[in-house]
């Protein structure tokens, strides 16, 4: 049996939903205000663009050059624009982790795990997009507009399902 401290029933769904909305607004408005600052651009460059270039170099036959917010090879380039870096999805997952009942330690572990997982998945997505633009423009368009974002959302949903599972009461 799950203790009341960890039980979903210990917090009504409306309280969790309200906390999610509040945390989402705080995190997303904060990021919207900070996204065009030099530190935010550097954060994107160091945590998104450079690792994606490194991953692209691992699997590609052409060297990948990273400069600021762009990845380029001799056969194509992509520009990581605001919204393409995956930070908004990461902030929504962090808001869900913060809203869910649990200890501060458990929430911090959830946030760190979510950030690592989603950053890695997004870096892989960008490396795949760079290779796709070299090979097939139509594949790039589909991966950029449908496949990649859908996969990131599925990974985020899977993470949240896994992360909240121990808290939910067991069914007979």
The one-digit pLDDT tens for each residue of the chain (172 residues) are 444 454 445 568 888 889 999 999 999 999 989 888 888 888 888 888 888 888 888 877 778 878 878 888 888 888 888 888 888 999 999 999 999 888 899 899 999 999 999 999 999 998 888 888 888 888 889 988 899 999 999 999 999 999 887 655 555 5
The one-character DSSP state at 49 is I
3-state DSSP call for residue 65? Answer: strand
The one-character DSSP state at 136 is -
Q: If we measure between CA atoms, which residue out of 115, 87, 110, 112 comes closest to residue 99?
A: 110
pLDDT at 121: 94
For residue 14, give Cα distances in angstroms to 24, 47, 90, 100, 166. Answer: 15, 35, 22, 11, 20
Residue identified by tokens 């450079």 is 50
pLDDT at 171: 54
Distance between CA 97 and CA 71 in Å, rounded?
Answer: 32
First-last CA distance in the chain? 10
The one-character DSSP state at 9 is G
Predicted TM-score (pTM) of the model is 0.82
pLDDT at 137: 85
pLDDT at 1: 45
Buried b (16+ CB within 10 A) or exposed e, 101-139: bbeeebbeebbeebbebbbebbbbbbbbbbbbbbeeeee
Q: Are 60 and 73 in contact (CB under 8 A)?
A: yes
pLDDT at 166: 64
């Amino acid at each position: 049996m799950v203790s009341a401290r960890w039980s979903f029933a210990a917090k009504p769904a409306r309280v969790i939903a309200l906390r999610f909305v509040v945390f989402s607004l705080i995190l997303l408005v904060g990021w919207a205000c900070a996204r065009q600052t030099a530190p935010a651009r550097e954060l994107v460059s160091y945590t998104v663009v450079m690792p994606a270039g490194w991953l692209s170099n691992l699997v590609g036959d052409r060297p990948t050059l990273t400069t600021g917010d762009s990845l380029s090879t001799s056969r194509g380039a992509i520009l990581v624009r605001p919204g393409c870096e995956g930070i908004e999805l990461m902030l929504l997952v962090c808001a869900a982790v913060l809203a869910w009942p649990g200890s501060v330690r458990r929430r911090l572990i959830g946030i760190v795990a979510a950030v690592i997982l989603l950053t890695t998945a997004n870096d892989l997505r960008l490396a795949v997009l760079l290779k796709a633009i070299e090979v097939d423009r139509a594949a790039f368009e589909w991966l950029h507009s449908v496949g990649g974002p859908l996969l990131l959302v599925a990974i985020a949903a899977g993470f949240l399902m896994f992360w909240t599972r121990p808290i939910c009461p067991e069914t007979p």
